Structure 1
Amino acid sequence: MKKFLFYIFKIFLVTVLVAFLLDGLYTYIFMQSKNRGKIEAVVNSEAKKYDVVILGSSRANNHFVSQMFEDKGLKTFNYGMSGGHLFEASLMLKLMIERKYEIKNVILEADLNLSNEKMAEGIGSLFVPFIHNSTIIKDHFKNESDFNELYYIPFYRYIKYDGKIGVREVFFTAIHKKTNSQDNLGYYPLEKHKNGNMKNNIVNLNPLPHNKYYEEIKSICKANNINFIAVMTPMCENVTGMNYFDKVKKAYPEIYNYENVVVEDKYFSSCGHMTDAGAKIFTAKIIKDFFNK
């Protein structure tokens, strides 16, 4: 019986040791990355200067044409992330401030995601490799239900989010394989597709009266003398429940409603995402209203 228990103990010890080694190896590789995605590009960066930083979900990533700001002499990067929520947008801004970025203006796409305070697993998981190397990231995740497992159990986070930060991503990161996330100064243009979903129903969507992460972004901007511009971006013609945007305006009167600046379906790739042509019309309006004064 003693031999059996000792054997089990040895297996346990080896498992823990391997977990620690793999955890350290994976983390080391991610800590060297700067060209795979927007998150590690910020985490592993030094101080930068921007006239305009754009934050939000895919409705920021696909809607703000960075080069158009640059053409006006405004150093700009679009840090919008497809699938992201305000949870991730707030954390990105915190990390920029920690790295002493000098930012004059933050444009936040704040509309549909005001309805939740959840972490978007597909995007939030990409911060997890750095949870031991950044107090900002650690504190941001503290209220997550599995924080203790993520933080204290070696290699757990890489197993849980294997699809995003597992062996495949580690391999591509190790060989410095680029993605297109940083092309076009972070802006991702879309094309018109025949089979694009041109209907949407947001009847049951309601903005939270005081979204925690929206308020964090606003407070960070105020504390760092950053001009904060929050906007609602366009949706296609066939949306049921468009009074959602009126609800947002009532709860957050400082958010500018640009929902109806572009409405024709020909300018949309899907109901919630404009094509490159639509994005250029929208961006031109934003620049005219806020940067041509």
Structure 2
Amino acid sequence: MKKFILFIVQIIVTTLVVAILLDSFYTYVFLNNNNRNKIEFVINSNPKKYDVVFLGSSRANNHFDSRIFSNQGLTVYNYGISGSRLEESALLLKLMIEKKYIVKNIILEIDLNINSDGFSNGTRAMFMPYLKEYETIQNHYHSISNFNQLYYIPFYRYINYDSKIGFRELFFSAIKKKNSALNHEGFLPLINDQSPLVATDLSERSPKRNKAYEEIKTICKQNNITLIAMTTPICAETINRDYFNHIHKIYPEIYRMEDTVIDDKYFSTCGHMNEKGAIAFTQIVFDKFFKPKNKS
């Protein structure tokens, strides 16, 4: 019986030691790479200065062509992340502030991402390698249901989010394989077009006051950042475009830009513009908010 108990203890101790070693190794690799995604690009960076930063979901990632701004001499980066929600945008902004970024203007995409206080499990996963190293991330996620397991159990967070930060991503990070998400100053153009466009249905969506958006507004005010929140274009066939009127009723400061580009030729899908559409839309945004005004 004693031998059996000793054997069980040995297994437990061995498993714990291996988990601690794996946890440390994975974390070390992720802390020493900054070319796989926009989150580690911020976390593993030196302080930066930007005239303009774009934040939001895929409708920021695919809709704001940073090159329109940089060609005019502005320092700019598109930190939009496909699949992300406003909660992740808020955390990314907090990390920029912690990393001593100086940002003059933030253009924040707010449209389909404001119908709940939900989160993106896939985007959350990309913050997890840095959970124990950054108090900002700990505080942001301290109230989630499995925080204690993620924080205190060695290697648990890597197992829990294996599809995003498992061995495959570890390997690519270790060999410094660059991800296309960081090309074009963060802008990801969509090339293939759906034909015909399938209408996006917003009937089940209902805009609400959003905690993360309120947090972003507060952070910008505290750090003297000009926040420009706006909707972005969606195809003319969209069902229940009244959704955008409801956004305006809740947050009248959000600029209405969903109708600035509507021709089908500018859309890859009903909810996302192609590269031509992004160029046309970004030029409209630049001209409206940043183009020098002629002095009379």
After TM superposition, the score normalised by the length of structure 2 is 0.96
1:99 alignment partner in structure 2: 99
CA contact 1:192–1:266 (8 Å) conserved in 2: no
Match of 2:246 in 1: 247
Alpha-carbon separation, structure 2, partners of 1:154 and 1:233 = 42
Alpha-carbon distance in structure 1 between the residues aligned to 2:197 and 2:44: 37
Structure 2 unaligned residues grouped into runs of 5+:
none
Give the corresponding residue for 1:276: 275
Once the two structures are TM-superposed, the CA of residue 204 in structure 1 deviates from its matched residue by 1.4
The CA distance in 2 between the partners of 1:36 and 1:282, in whole Å, is 27
2:149 equivalent in structure 1: 149
Give SS of 1:145's match: coil
- Deviation sequence 1:172-198 (CA, Å, 0-9, x none): 100101111110000011124245753
* 1:133 corresponding residue in structure 2: 133
Indicate the residue corresponding to 1:8 in structure 2: 8
CA distance in 2: counterparts of 1:215 and 1:202, whole angstroms? 23
Seen in structure 2, the aligned counterparts of structure 1 residues 219 and 12 have a Cα distance that, compared at 3 Å, is: same
Structure 1 residues 255 and 111: CA distance shift in structure 2, 3 A: same
Q: Deviations over 1:4-37 (max 9, x none)?
A: 1111111011101100000000000000011111
Matches within 5 A, 1:223-238: 223-238=222-237
SS at match of 1:154: coil
CA distance in 1, matches of 2:190, 2:30: 29
In the other structure, the counterpart of 1:65 is 65
Q: How does 1:31-46 map to 2 (within 5 A)?
A: 31-46=31-46
**Counterpart code for 1:165:** I
Give me the whole-angstrom Cα distance separating, in 2, the residues matched to 1:196 and 1:222: 43
Q: 2:189·2:275 contact (CA, 8 Å) conserved in 1?
A: yes
- Match of 1:181, SS state, is helix
SS in 2 for 1:287: helix
Matching residue of 1:216: 215
Give distance in 2, aligned partners of 1:256 and 1:194: 28
Distance 1:249 1:170 in 2: 43
Map of 1:286 onto structure 2 = 285
Superposition deviation, residue 228 in structure 1: 0.4
Distance, in Å, in 1 between the alignment partners of 2:70 and 2:196 is 30
What is the 5 A alignment of 1:151-166? 151-166=151-166
Correspondence 1:195-214 to 2 at 5 A = 195=195, 197-209=197-209, 211-214=210-213
CA separation in 1, counterparts of 2:45 and 2:206? 36
CA distance in 2: counterparts of 1:217 and 1:72, whole angstroms: 27
Q: Please give the alpha-carbon distance, in whole angstroms, between the structure 2 residues aligned to 1:192 and 1:159.
A: 34
- Contact 2:194/2:269 (CA < 8 Å) preserved in 1? no
Distance 2:39 2:28 in 1: 15
Distance (Å, rounded) in 1 between the aligned partners of 2:270 and 2:156: 38
Paired residue type of 1:214:
Y
Give the secondary structure class of the aligned counterpart of 2:63.
Answer: coil
CA contact (8 A) 1:192 1:268 kept: no
Measure the CA separation in 2 of the matches of 1:9 and 1:47: 47
Alpha-carbon distance between aligned partners in 1 of 2:10 and 2:202, rounded to the nearest angstrom = 55
Give the partner amino acid of 1:180. Answer: S
Equivalence for 2:22: 22
When residues 21 and 197 of structure 1 are mapped into structure 2, their CA distance, relative to the original with a 3 A threshold, is farther
SS of the equivalent of 2:127 reads helix
| Structure 1 position 208, deviation (Å) | 1.6
Task: Give the AA of the match of 2:205.
Answer: L
1:176 corresponds to: 176
Aligned to 2:258: 259
Is the contact made by 2:49 and 2:102 (CA closer than 8 Å) also made in structure 1? yes
Compute the RMSD of aligned alpha carbons. Answer: 1.0
* Identical pairs, percent: 50
Q: Is the 8 A contact 1:69 1:76 kept in 2?
A: yes
Deviations 1:77-106 (A, max 9, x none): 000001111111101110000011110000
CA distance in 1, matches of 2:254, 2:122: 27
The 3 A distance-change label for structure 1 pair 200 and 67 is same
